[in-house]
Amino acid sequence: MNKYTIIHVSDPQLTPPLPEVGAVAVAKLQLIFDDIVAHHLCPDLVVISGDLIQRGATADYRWLRTYLAQQEQRLGTAIQVILGDLDDRQAFNAGYLDQTRRAYYAYKLNQKNLDFYFLDSKWESRRTAGWLDRAQLDWLNKNLHLVPRRRAFLFLHHPLDAPALRDMRYTLLQNNRELLAILHGHNVGGIFAGHLHFSANYLVDNAVPVTVAGAASTYIDCQDPHKHVVHDAVSYNVITIERGIASVTSHPLRFDTGILATIPVGNTGFTKHRPRLTRIRDVSGVNLRGGVGE
């Protein structure tokens, strides 16, 4: 199998209205694209895993679509995006997808006999925590069973729980068990996430590697579970898949020791109120080219 290279960017957190007010954040994202070109990385795919725009409007997502199309042309490869907790789903649907309503944004891509699943873990009622609804889990389960032997990789915004992240459970994916139950027994090569604003690597279910990418906007020091310290920073990951095995290298481009802000944190455990895993209509995934998810 040929080598397959993915640039994994997360949490650019562009600030609306774009591009004028968000010029600083856009410049950080541009720094990553410029670095990719300068080092001749020639990726097969670029993924931006959520928190695209902080509560952006339709016009902001329309601008982002145009901007990323320009970067695609420059890099000669596709740029795929997913939603994060700070994104506005309605504005994204209207501005980025030219659609009026969609319950979630998930899709599947097959490249070089590898399956890539892009999941939507944005939870409307809990802005920071993540959630995968029943319909999306059913869609994932169906697609995994269609090709049970094919190597699969998952991208979503919210990381899964791990012992090292115990004090951050309030902001992780809340229905880890449901997702892992679906993945169990399938040929899953890895899960890639963002959201934390620092890098992490660990195993879940004693078998599936999870890699969390640092952010394109800031670095957050979470050593004190009740007081998180924010620094100006830019980084991205390069994922190299060969023979079905993924290896990841981190590319830090900027780090400022000065403190931008301090985030107070109260309860660090899982959220107490979880939505029911009920089926809803009009939830089939779509890909960036406008088709229905497989």
Q: Span 57-72, mean pLDDT?
A: 97
pTM of the model: 0.92
If one compares 99 and 118, the residue with the highest pLDDT of the two is: 118
Q: Which residues pair with 251 in a beta bridge?
A: 236
Domains of the chain: 4-264 (3.60.21.10)
Which pLDDT band, with edges at 50, 70 and 90, does 287 fall under? very low
Output the CA angle 244-162-149, nearest 5 degrees.
Answer: 25
Digit-coded pLDDT (tens) for 175-191: 999 999 999 999 999 99
pLDDT at position 101 is 76
Provide the percentage of residues in the chain whose pLDDT is more than 70.
92
pLDDT digits 0-9 by tens, 192-202? 999 999 999 99
Pairing of strands 200-204, 208-212: antiparallel
For residue 20, list its beta bridge partners. none
Compare 20 and 138 and report the one with higher pLDDT.
138
Residue-wise pLDDT tens digits, 119-170: 999 997 667 999 999 999 999 999 999 999 999 999 999 999 999 999 999 9
pLDDT reading at 281 higher than 60: no
Provide the CB-side half-sphere exposure for 16 (13 A, CA).
19
**pLDDT above 70: residue 245:** yes
**Which pair of tokens denotes residue 257?**
């020791």
Task: Let me know: does 165 contact 199? Beta carbons within 8 Å.
Answer: no
Q: Return d(Cα 15, Cα 192) in angstroms, integer.
A: 24
Q: How far apart are the first and last CA of the chain?
A: 23
Contact (CB, 8 A) for 29 and 12: yes
Per-residue pLDDT averaged across 265-278, rounded? 78
Sequence length of the chain is 294
Chain-centre distance of CA 57, in angstroms?
20
The dihedral over CA atoms of 3, 161, 194, 210, expressed in degrees to the nearest 10, equals -10
Q: Are strands 227-242 and 245-264 parallel, antiparallel or unpaired?
A: antiparallel
Residue 35 CB-density burial (10 A; 0-12 exposed, 13-18 middle, 19+ buried)? middle
What average pLDDT does this structure show over 253-279? 85
Region 226-254 average pLDDT: 97
pLDDT at 34: 98
